[in-house]
Structure formats: structure tokens, C-alpha cells
Amino acid sequence: MMRIRSTALALLLALAATTTALPGAYAQAPRPDWKFSTDQAFDPASIPAYQGRHDAVYARIDADLDAHLAHLQRWLRQRSVSAQDDGIREMAELVAGDLRDLGFQEVALVETPGHPGVFGHYDAGAERTLVVYMMYDVQPVEENWRIEDPFAGELVEHELGTVLMARGATNQKGPERAFLNAVDAIIQEHGSLPVNLYVIAEGEEELGSPNFGAVIEPYLDRLRAADGAFFPMNLQRPDGDVSLNLGVKGIIYFELESKGGEWGGPAKAEVHGSLKALVDSPPLRLVQAIASMTTPDGNTILVPGYYDAVRAPSEEEQRLINGLALHADDAAMQEAFGVSQWIGGMHGREAIIRNLFVPTLNINGIWSGYTGEGMKTILPHVATAKIDSRLPPGLEPEAAHRMIRTHLDAQGFEDVQIRPMSGYPAAATSVDAPLVQAAIGVFNKYGAMPRVSPWLAGSAPFYQFTRTLELPFVFGGLGHGSGAHGPDEYMLITPASGVRAAGLADIEKSYVDLLYALSRSGSD
Amino acid sequence: MMRIRSTALALLLALAATTTALPGAYAQAPRPDWKFSTDQAFDPASIPAYQGRHDAVYARIDADLDAHLAHLQRWLRQRSVSAQDDGIREMAELVAGDLRDLGFQEVALVETPGHPGVFGHYDAGAERTLVVYMMYDVQPVEENWRIEDPFAGELVEHELGTVLMARGATNQKGPERAFLNAVDAIIQEHGSLPVNLYVIAEGEEELGSPNFGAVIEPYLDRLRAADGAFFPMNLQRPDGDVSLNLGVKGIIYFELESKGGEWGGPAKAEVHGSLKALVDSPPLRLVQAIASMTTPDGNTILVPGYYDAVRAPSEEEQRLINGLALHADDAAMQEAFGVSQWIGGMHGREAIIRNLFVPTLNINGIWSGYTGEGMKTILPHVATAKIDSRLPPGLEPEAAHRMIRTHLDAQGFEDVQIRPMSGYPAAATSVDAPLVQAAIGVFNKYGAMPRVSPWLAGSAPFYQFTRTLELPFVFGGLGHGSGAHGPDEYMLITPASGVRAAGLADIEKSYVDLLYALSRSGSD
């Protein structure tokens, strides 16, 4: 069966296609009400545009662009559907082979309980070292693509220009192989790289990265000695602005279930609905248990201690938020998502703060009993909900689970079970990190205004970089793509006139600049 | 698509197969706490066994038993699946033809917006008149029957004896045609009947009787002049005891729905779950709305006024309840339903009272968002629940709907919609009604101890008899059957040794006795 799962990455890409700033805010009782100590706004233009020129490399990129595009197509034509174990090992070997061809001195497939990872080390003898994270797997494909074969990797004319339309085009093979094209061009011209590289690729991102820890485990000490980690990504809008989110929220995802048993209710199967007078109802218990966790509007969490763990916005984060608020366009976001208003009509800075700093409690799904047409009169024996909570920095997944369990027990819902499905903490990188400063400088060079957010409201297990490896982590880059996880996924290769997102050549050149900028950052 | 719906009748039959008394009780805050004014228990043995002897008719039944059985088989072999419009008109015409063959002077198909009804009048020139209700439709059939063809109408050996196994065998063609066999035998021997008969048959019982009002409408004045209404039914347990429920609860059945719109939430489609920080959640709203209607244990309704409308048990009902309590076997009921205990551990008379006199609020089904394997992180745009409430006498469906709407509005849930799907009031007949006294007398003659309940906790639109036609109404009779709505539905024809439920011959003889008893009741 196809596993349907929305990764944080898909959200990142979806958001990049619409707007950059995710607003948020707070209003009600037990939610924290932080006072900002500064009204200063972070101005990305205050960081000088990257000044380095690498004309020989740029020329090599322009000359080899057809071959570079062919590399992207070669990656896209190799199926690698992790949920269906379709082409996975072939793709892992393809990645490893490409690293060897580029001159990586050390390349290895890393076996895990799941799909293999790929490790590569390019020792340039340089002062600085960058870890490059890659995912080589893709989502399954649906029926309704406008092209015949989502694995053909063909160019398609699109209103934004010429695009590569294929599964994995933007999520994530396109930008990843574009990055390696940039590496190739530098090595071709200069025989080496300005920084040492570690490539860590996994084949289970679309499954929630269950074995990523096992992929990096053999290399922990070496990776921790690096200067930062980077995940190539198309996060540019058609108007040229680029998202730079310096982290992600954490998450707990669990099933909450009430099932008949010793406490009451039907234990084995549904009974007739008229028996409700005598028999406890699992779905009513589930509904009551969930209801006990929020205010009646569903928007304030009543689990004791839940908000206390969240740390207040630092002054740096306040400046970033103030900067985001200058460009906030709540109406455009709301239209894109088909929402008439944010909660309680909030907007602007208030909405940004709520979005980034306030934990959520969300029902992803709930089901029990008869859900078909017409009437069936039953008292179901089991009721289940899929619930997630997004965790800002400070609120740890273990603590969140524990507080929810404690709350349910205190409210008398000992009979309601929690089945944890996923949980990891938030990740955040300082805007002052050399890698971040280098990225902003490169974006400024290309006239791509960075919209810098402390983190994204979505979740991804990027704590593996910021916490396990203790590295600054940047996910992003120039270039535009859309359709991750859906039909007609594409990456823009040649922008149409008036479209200000970078095409393939500029994307690759910006990666060249980033590597050089990182090699010099903090040492100029 | 097959309409799945559990009719009250199916419950009646299921309960008859297990035990007779449905217990019930009360404990918490706003639920009424009636004090009984009497400890006297109704004793069915206090009503004399029917003394009449109709040996010529009995002998005719014995002589014609093979032919009588063949009539049942003929009815069962005529498909009449109302949900699939399969054989419906043919079955209506078969019923009408049989009535004509029996000598009914007036027989008509009654067209409705749905399946036709059948009206028949046998004018015996008698003092008393009985309305006989019949349903000629059946449920669809499933795959997993132990016989090849559920419409073959064949005899099958069963642990209880020889049974007719077929769709409709006990629900409801078997007992109905058995009743007509009794009528036939009387007419054969005596040229006429001791009472006048109206037969009203409908073909949409399994659809919730949506057009039964239209079937009786042309005959209202004539039907109202009758002395009672009767629905032939196998309600005897294998040990010989027989259920006699003198009514049913009413019901409202509705969908409760929260959908994104002007008030907030995603209006058109799900959005990413991380947006919960900014976006109202329809499933959380639905959960909160439902939760507002009950205490946290799900067992006390908090809708203002809901309990006030229910009338207290009359002295007659108290005596019936006291009588039921003498034979209550909660443990056996609980085992049959797979329930470890009734709510709060109640039992005996307390449970009977709760079951019969306290309205319920029950979730038949609830669904929203992603309900498959694994994780999908979405904020759904719509959430729906199917809810029913069982209404004891006094609580009218319109009032129940109005109180729930008023409550939701008062709690701020104006955005949560109610979609009514069904609603009708309770029905109850006094144990003192001549028809009831006649039935008990007949049961006593056959040694079938009647377990007499004021009504059943299940629902059926029997108000059409008690309220629209203002008639005493009895549904029941000797004989045993099981499997209504499920596979292997059967009616016991020839009981095995030790089984004390009546076989076909005694069932028919008891119907003969019932007609004679009614003709004399109140006039002896």
C-alpha cells in the first residue's frame, strides 16, 4: 500500500510557490503573551551582496548546460519510490557513482534497517567543510499527470518558462544534481573545491527519515567537525524573492484511541445504537478526551504546562519577525489556502508570532463507526484520531507526550490510549552563522530578496543537523519549483520573460558562489 | 449503492434471540431520578390462558402444513430487496394476489413516491376489526451465507431444529405468511373470520418507511375505526419465553457537520497541518460541539431541557418494570453484546429504567481528514458525525432537534450544522388494551411466558399506529427466528427435541387463537 505522508519539505516547496512569510499570533488565556523588547527589523540588504567573481566556472556552466541538464534528467529517469521500494538501490548506486565520478575520494553505501544511505567525502584540503544533505527518494506517482510518464524527465513548456516536469524534479533531485553540477564545474576549472564536502544522502525522507540516524552514525565525529550543513532546495518565488527559514518546528504525531474494554463499552464489535442508554461509547469518550485538550474554539491548548516550555523570542528572533512583518501579506496567504481569515482575525506580526512560537494541537483525521450514506444505528466499539502537535524550540517531544498523558489521566481518561507515531524536536540556526550570512550575501548578489524567518511552522527532522551534529543548517537556494507530492511536479529550467526566479544556469552559479562565500566567510 | 440501515425490527429479532428484558438505569446530575410509587410487579400469569378451542381449524392447519410451508417458501423465493428495487413490484402483486385468493373483498396496490403499498380488506361482518401491518421488502444479501442461494427458500437442519433459511425468513415474510395461513385455515373451516381484517403492507420498511404515511393516507378514517393493529413477528426464545414490548422509543438521527467558511477554517480543501497555528479546525470544532452536549463520560446529556420533557413512569409502567426486574439477567445480556458492564456498573431495575426512560445521545459514526495507514499531516476542511438520540415518550423529535440547535447556538457553535435525517416519536400501548390482553392470554395458553415491557429501547415508526391511527398496537408472536439483516437468516419450522419455541403449526394455531380471543375480549 502506498504510504501517504506529507513531509515538511513538500510544505516548504508549496509555500515557496505562494509567498514567503508565514504569519501567526496569539490572543487567548493561557497562551504566552510575549512583549517585544525591540522594534528593530532585520534587513537582509544590510548584508553585502557576495562580491566574488568566478567567471571561468560560470563560463564552464554555460558551456556545459546541456550536459548538466542531462544529469538532472538521468537522475529523474531513475525511479526511486521509497514507499514502494521501486528503484531504490539503483538510485543509491547512481548517486554513489556520480560522487566517485566527481572525484570524491571516499564513497560508501551505508546499509540501514531500511533503504541504504550514501556517504561521500571530498577532501579539498580546505579550511572549511560543508555537509550537504540529500534525499534520493521520491513520492509515489498518481494517475492524473498532464504528461504520460512522470519518470520520463522531459522538458515541458509552462507559463513560467521551460520546466523539467517529473516526479522528483523539485523535490529533490533537480536542485541536488544542480548542486553537483556546480561542484563539477568548479573541479573542471580549478582541479579542486574551495571547501571540503561531505555528502549524506538518504532514501527514506518520504517515509519520515526513520533511519537517518543510522546513516550518519558511523560518521558522527567527522561530520560534527564541519562548519555547516546545507540542503539544496528551490525556494524562490516567480517574482524573485527567496525564502530563508532558519529552522523548523518539531512535532509529535500520535493516534488517540478509545476502545471498549474493562472500563466499559463494546469490547469486540459494534452493538445496536439503542444500547447507548446502558453502554459507554468509545467515540464519545474520544471526543471528550480531545475536547478536554483545547478551548471550545479549538485554538488554545489546555494541557497544563504546554505553553510554559516554549521559550520567548530572542532579540534576534524579534528582529527577524519584525522584518517579516514588513512584507506580510495575510490576504494573499489566505487566498492561496482557501481560508477566509486567520484565527480571530489576527494578522501581521501577531500572526507571525502565533505561527512560529505557539504550539499547535491538530486533528489530521478522526474516524469511528459508520461513515457511509444514509443511516446505520450502531454504537461503535472503537474510535481513533490522528493528532499532531507542532513544537517550537523549548518544547521537547518527550515532554509534550508526557504532559498530554498526564492531562488525560488527570481528567479521567486513563482508558484513552496514546499511540506515538513520530516525534522530534525543533531545529534553529542563528542568522549570524557564517553559512547563513554567506547564503544571504549570495541571494543579494542575484537580486533575490531573502525573506528570513527564524524557522518554519512546518516540521522536518532537521534537529539531526542542528542538534545531533551541532551544525548551522541552511535549507534553500535559488530556483523555482512546485507540485511536490502531487501531479505535474516541476523545476523551472529556463524562465520565461518577466519571471525573476533563477534558471538552471544561475542556480548552479549561485551554488558556486555559496561554496566560495563559505570558504571566505568570517575570514575576510 | 446498498443502503445499510438497521431497522428497529432487526434489533427486536436480535434481542428475541438472546433475552427478553433490556435493562437500564440512571445515576448522574441532571438526569431525572424518579421515585417509584409501587413495588407491585406485573404478573403475566394473572391473565388467564386463552380457553377457546378451535379443533377443526387446528386440524386443518396440521393437515395442510406442507402446503402452508410451501406458501412461506413461495414468498421467500420472490426477491424483494427494497434498497436495490429488486423484485419489489412482483412481490407487491404476489401479496395482493394472495389476499384476493383468501377472499379479501377489497385489494389494491397503493402507489407512493417510492415502492407501492398493498391494502386489503376482509369484511367478516364481525364486531371487531384488526389492522395487520406487513412489510414485504427485505434487506440486501451478503456473500457469506452457508447456503448457496438466500432466495431458494430451502429447509436446513439447524441445532434448534428444521429451519427455513432465507433472506426474509423471519424478517418478516415467514411470520406474515404464517398469519395468512391461519386466516386461510379459519376461512376454509368456517367460511369467514371472527374479526374483520385490514392488511396494510409496505415495501420500504428496510428503507425507514419513508412513504408509509402515503400508504395509509387513503384509508385513515377506516383504519382508525379498528380495534387494534398487529405486526406478526417471531419473538420467542428457544426456552419458550416470549417478548411482548408494548411500544418503542422514538428517534432523531442527524448529521452534525463543521465545515470551513466565513467563520474560519479551510473552505474548499484541506491545508497543511502546520497551519493550525493560524487556521481554525473544523474537526476540532465538531469535537467541541459534540463534547458540549454530554458530560465527560459521555453518558449524561447537557442539552438544557432534554430530560425535562420525558414523562415519569406511570404506575402501570412501574409495575411492568418491577415485573421485568424479577427476571433481569444483566450478565447474560452483557455477554451477548460483548460488554463487560453497563454504565457505572448499574444493573437490575435501575438499568431497566435507564434503558427505557432516559434519552440517549449516541455517535453512530464520525469522520474527517486522513484515516489511512501511517501519517499524513493535514488540517481537514470538513468533519461530520452521524448522531442519534432515542426519545422516550414525552420527548418529541421536533423539540429534541430544537433544544440541540438552541444549545449549540448558546455555546457559540452557530457554525456547526445539523442535517436531520430521520425523526419520529415514541409509541406505547397500555397493557390493559384488549388486544394486549388477548395476546397475553394466548401466550399463556402455549406456556410461553410473556416478558412484558412498556416499550423497547430501539426505535421504529410505530407511532403511525398508536398516534396516527390511534390504535393499540402489538408486534410479536410465538415462533423463533434469527439473523435478520445478516447471513443465515432463519425461521424455526420444526423445533428439535427440548426446544420450547413454537414450530410453524403452533405459530399458526396461536394466530387463530389471537383472532378469536380478540373477537371475544372485553365481551366475555
Closest chain A residue by Cα to residue B456: A274
User: A390 in contact with B at a CB cutoff of 8 Å?
Assistant: yes
* Assigned C-alpha cell, B50: 386463552
Mutation to test the B interface, candidates A13, A31, A253, A278, most B Cβ within 10 Å:
A278
B339 contacts in chain A (CB < 8 Å): 260, 264-267, 271, 275, 278-279
Cβ contacts of A509 within 8 Å, gap of 6 or more: A54, A57, A58, A61, A182
Each residue of A266-311: pLDDT tens digit?
Answer: 999 999 999 999 999 999 999 999 999 999 999 999 999 999 999 9
Which region holds residue A378: left if phi is over 0, alpha if psi is between -120 and 50, else beta?
A: beta
Low-confidence ranges of chain B (pLDDT < 70): 1-29, 521-524
Identity of the residue in B251, B262, B367 whose CB atom sits nearest the CB atom of A340: B262
B288 contacts in chain A (CB < 8 Å): 291, 294, 296-298
A255 contacts in chain B (CB < 8 Å): none
Q: Which of residues 22-41 of A touch B (CB under 8 A)?
A: 22-25
In the numeric block, the cell 395458553 is attached to B445
What DSSP designation does B339 have?
Answer: B
Question: Which CATH number describes the domain made up of A250-310+358-424?
Answer: 3.30.70.360
Closest chain B residue by Cα to residue A251: B274
CB A277 to CB B354 under 8 A?
yes
Residues in chain A: 524
B258 membership: H or E segment, kind and range? strand B247-259
Confidence at residue A31, expressed as pLDDT on a 0 to 100 scale: 83
* Residue B508, Cβ density class (10 Å: 0-12 exposed, 13-18 middle, ≥19 buried): buried
Whether residue A507 contacts residue A178, with contact meaning beta carbons closer than 8 Å, is answered with: yes
Q: What is the ipTM of this complex?
A: 0.89
What DSSP designation does A84 have?
Answer: G
CB B6 to CB A275 under 8 A?
no
Q: What is the 3-state secondary structure (H, E, C) of B6-19?
A: CCHHHHHHHHHCCC
Residues B458 and A378: their CA atoms lie apart, in Å, by 11
Confidence at residue A142, expressed as pLDDT on a 0 to 100 scale: 83
Cis peptide before B172 (omega within 30 of 0): yes
What DSSP designation does B468 have?
Answer: I
A257 membership: H or E segment, kind and range? strand A247-259
CB A284 to CB B265 under 8 A?
no
Sequence-ordered strand ranges (E) for B339-407 = 362-369, 378-379, 382-391
Q: Which of residues 223-282 of B touch A (CB under 8 A)?
A: 249, 251, 253, 260-269, 271-281
What is the DSSP annotation of B121-134? Answer: EE----S-EEEEEE
Each residue of B228-263: pLDDT tens digit?
Answer: 999 999 999 999 999 999 999 999 999 999 999 999
Confidence at residue A7, expressed as pLDDT on a 0 to 100 scale: 52
CB B338 to CB A281 under 8 A?
no
B82 contacts in chain A (CB < 8 Å): none
* Residue B68, Cβ density class (10 Å: 0-12 exposed, 13-18 middle, ≥19 buried): buried
How far is residue B243 from each of residues A463, B20, B443, measured CA to CA in Å? 66, 5, 10
CA distance A23 to chain B (A): 8
What is the DSSP annotation of A113-132? Answer: SSSPEEEEEE----S-EEEE
Q: Which of residues 405-424 of A touch B (CB under 8 A)?
A: 411-413, 421-422
pLDDT band for position A10 (cuts 50, 70, 90): low
CB A11 to CB B272 under 8 A?
yes
How far is residue B67 from each of residues B167, B190, B477, B514, measured CA to CA in Å? 20, 19, 21, 22
Taking each continuous run of H as one helix and of E as one strand, the counts in chain B are: 15, 20
Residues A513 and A523: their CA atoms lie apart, in Å, by 16
CB A376 to CB B421 under 8 A?
no
C-alpha closest to that of A338 among B20, B365, B269, B28: B269
CB A366 to CB B365 under 8 A?
no
CB A338 to CB B390 under 8 A?
no
Asked if the model's pLDDT at residue A522 lies above 80, the reply is no
User: A6 in contact with B at a CB cutoff of 8 Å?
Assistant: yes
* Residue A296, Cβ density class (10 Å: 0-12 exposed, 13-18 middle, ≥19 buried): middle
Quote the distance between the C-alpha of residue A501 and its chain's center: 20
Asked if the model's pLDDT at residue A524 lies above 70, the reply is no
Interface size between A and B, measured as CB pairs under 8 A: 345
CB B412 to CB A362 under 8 A?
no
* Assigned C-alpha cell, B124: 367478516
User: A367 in contact with B at a CB cutoff of 8 Å?
Assistant: yes
Quote the distance between the C-alpha of residue B499 and its chain's center: 25
CB B375 to CB A271 under 8 A?
no
Task: Tell which wins on pLDDT, B34 or A21.
Answer: B34
CA dihedral B454, B455, B457, B461 (to 10 degrees): -160
User: A290 in contact with B at a CB cutoff of 8 Å?
Assistant: yes
Query: In chain A, what are the domain boundaries?
Result: 8-24+46-246+429-520, 250-310+358-424
Whether residue A519 contacts residue A126, with contact meaning beta carbons closer than 8 Å, is answered with: yes
Each residue of B441-492: pLDDT tens digit?
Answer: 999 999 999 999 999 999 999 999 999 999 999 999 999 999 998 899 999 9
Fold of B249-310+358-424: Alpha-Beta Plaits (3.30.70)
CA distance A288 to chain B (A): 5
Confidence at residue B65, expressed as pLDDT on a 0 to 100 scale: 98
Asked if the model's pLDDT at residue A181 lies above 50, the reply is yes
Looking at the structure, give the CATH architecture of the domain made up of residues B48-246+429-520.
Answer: 3-Layer(aba) Sandwich (3.40)
Confidence at residue B524, expressed as pLDDT on a 0 to 100 scale: 42
Query: Strands B196-202 and B378-379: what pairing?
Result: unpaired
Question: Which CATH number describes the domain made up of A8-24+46-246+429-520?
Answer: 3.40.630.10
Each residue of A348-392: pLDDT tens digit?
Answer: 999 999 999 999 999 999 999 999 988 888 999 999 999 999 999
Residues A258 and A287: their CA atoms lie apart, in Å, by 9
